[in-house]
């Protein structure tokens, strides 16, 4: 059963260097690291959308944590 699709992409050299370093340090394949990164990105974007849709005051703590995380990693 085929559960992968071949893609072609262009990475900035800085990002490629970081990917190569991570693959070398962890011993994981680049494909696995890229899959994990894309899955994380999709979960992150879903969380952002949910945070904007549900303006529940009880979610203030999670909203603040998300904003701190975004600031820390330069994603805001």
Q: Answer whether residue 13 shows pLDDT above 90.
A: yes
Contacts of 59 (CB under 8 A, 6+ apart): 51
**Spatial contact of 32 and 23, defined as CB atoms under 8 Å apart:** no
The domain spans of the chain are 13-73
pTM: 0.70
46-69 pLDDT, tens per residue?
877 777 776 665 666 667 777 777
């Amino acid at each position: 059963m085929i559960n992968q699709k071949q893609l072609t992409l262009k990475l900035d050299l800085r990002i490629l260097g970081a990917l190569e370093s991570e693959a070398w340090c962890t011993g994981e394949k680049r494909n696995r690291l890229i899959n994990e990164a894309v899955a994380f990105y999709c979960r992150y974007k879903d969380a952002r959308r949910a945070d904007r849709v549900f303006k529940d005051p009880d979610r203030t703590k999670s909203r603040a944590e998300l904003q701190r995380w975004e600031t820390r990693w330069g994603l805001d």
